[in-house]
């Protein structure tokens, strides 16, 4: 059973990257116990479109702090936990890219209308898909309901621009804790031990 024990929530905020512009970690990024990777490379052959960037607040979006973006092409970011644990995606913040680092206007080339979230179930049960639409340039919090037991989550930008981009921040998740069921042999030994203790107490003189 998932979360038979209390599940502790973790939050990825990217604030450990001290940058006023954009930091390019490459095609993968490990931070705060989470592994991020780019998805399918852009079809236009742009090498930078298959790279992750951590950008300072107000540069690419209306978020006030650092956020993660797969820039210069269609954004496709895949998230999993470094230790391989399954997890529940509780919420995340997202918004579209703005034009020329201007938080008041969208980019005609990279504007995203929303984000598709695809969670892969660790038990082989397939995927859970969500579609969240952006409200213009508003930086919003989204909560996928029922997204437990995931091995990975994919965030895909969509829109009517050539290369829609999302920016992601404050990704809140909980590791799924699985209560171990005792094996029948262990239960038998436990039962035998209890019987022995009861028998011994009965034989003690009053």
pLDDT tens column, 108-167: 888 999 999 999 999 999 999 999 999 988 889 999 988 899 999 999 999 988 889 989
Query: Is 196 part of any domain?
Result: no
Say if residue 51's pLDDT is above 60: yes
State how many domains the chain has: 1
Query: Is 154 part of any domain?
Result: yes
Say if residue 196's pLDDT is above 80: no
Which tokens is 8 given? 């502790």
Query: Is 193 part of any domain?
Result: no
85-103 tens-digit pLDDT: 999 999 999 999 888 777 7
- Which percentage of the chain shows pLDDT scores above 70? 75
Q: What pLDDT was estimated at residue 1? A: 39
CB 140 within 8 A of CB 93: yes
Q: What is the pTM of this model?
A: 0.80
Phi, psi of 59, deg, nearest 5: -90, -45
Query: Is 184 part of any domain?
Result: no
CB 32 within 8 A of CB 10: yes
Say if residue 187's pLDDT is above 50: no
Query: Is 189 part of any domain?
Result: no
Which tokens is 45 given? 């052959």
* CATH code for the domain of 164: 2.60.120.260
Q: What is the dihedral of CA 122, 4, 32, 22, to 10 degrees?
A: 60
Query: Is 198 part of any domain?
Result: no
- Domain extent for 17: 9-179
Q: What pLDDT was estimated at residue 103? A: 76
Burial readout 162-178 (b: 16 or more C-beta within 10 A, e: otherwise)? ebbbbbbbbbbbbbbee
Query: Is 200 part of any domain?
Result: no
Query: Is 191 part of any domain?
Result: no
Q: Name the pLDDT band for 25 (thresholds 50, 70, 90).
A: confident
CB 34 within 8 A of CB 171: yes
């Amino acid at each position: 059973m998932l979360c038979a024990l209390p599940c502790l929530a973790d939050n990825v905020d990217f604030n450990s990257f001290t940058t006023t512009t954009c930091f390019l970690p490459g095609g993968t990024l490990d931070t705060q116990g989470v592994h991020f990777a780019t998805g399918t490379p852009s079809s236009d052959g742009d090498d930078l479109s298959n790279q992750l960037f951590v950008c300072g607040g107000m540069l690419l979006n209306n978020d006030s702090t650092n956020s993660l973006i797969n820039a210069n092409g269609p954004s496709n970011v895949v998230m999993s936990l470094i230790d391989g644990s399954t997890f529940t995606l509780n919420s995340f913040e997202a918004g579209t890219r703005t034009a020329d680092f201007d938080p008041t206007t969208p980019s005609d080339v990279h504007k995203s209308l929303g984000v598709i979230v695809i969670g892969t179930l660790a038990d082989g049960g397939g995927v859970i898909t969500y579609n969240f639409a952006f409200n213009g340039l508003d930086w919003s919090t989204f909560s996928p309901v029922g997204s437990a037991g995931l091995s990975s989550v994919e965030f895909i930008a969509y829109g009517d621009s050539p290369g829609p981009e999302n920016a992601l921040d404050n990704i809140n998740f909980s590791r799924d804790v699985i209560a171990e069921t005792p094996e029948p042999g262990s239960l038998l030994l436990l039962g035998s031990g209890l019987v022995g203790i009861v028998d011994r107490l009965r034989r003690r003189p009053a």
